[in-house]
């Protein structure tokens, strides 16, 4: 399991919180997720990294399925639509979002 979380101290995270009108809330949610994940860090197959990139989407992968929560400017993620994508031969959308994830994964900082 690979998990990427925004770095709550990153300027991009603070800017997004300002744009959403949730100053402190986004940073707090990231800290809460990190607390929840403490119990599984160090288990075989679990890796957590943080990144300081601009977050355009939240991506959740389950085998050959992706849930992609596209973020709309000025709106919290919960108010934005979620796309359910399934990997199919010749399809491009699934690969497009996974390439994005992999690029951020390469530059993210390992936690724990």
User: Strand 109-111 to strand 82-86: parallel, antiparallel, or no bridges (unpaired)?
Assistant: unpaired
Cβ neighbours, 10 Å, residue 61: 17
B/e letters for 35-52, b = 16+ CB within 10 Å, e = fewer, are: eebeeeeeeeeebbbbbb
pTM score: 0.85
The per-residue DSSP string of 69-107 comes to EEPPTTS-GGGS-EEEEE--TT--HHHHHHHHHHHHHHH
Q: What is the pLDDT along the chain (112 residues), one digit of tens a residue?
A: 999 999 999 999 889 888 888 877 888 889 999 999 999 998 999 999 999 998 889 999 999 999 999 988 888 888 999 999 999 999 999 999 999 999 999 999 999 6
């Amino acid at each position: 399991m690979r998990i990427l979380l925004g770095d709550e101290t990153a300027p991009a995270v603070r800017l997004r919180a300002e744009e959403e009108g949730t100053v402190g809330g986004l940073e707090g949610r990231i800290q809460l997720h990190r607390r929840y994940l403490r119990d599984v860090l160090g288990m075989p197959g679990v890796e957590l990294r943080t990144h300081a990139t601009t977050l355009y989407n939240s991506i959740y992968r389950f085998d050959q399925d992706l849930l992609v929560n596209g973020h709309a400017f000025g709106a919290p993620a919960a108010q934005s639509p979620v796309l359910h994508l399934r990997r199919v031969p010749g399809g491009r959308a699934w690969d497009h979002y996974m390439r994005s994830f992999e690029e951020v994964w390469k530059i993210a900082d390992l936690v724990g």
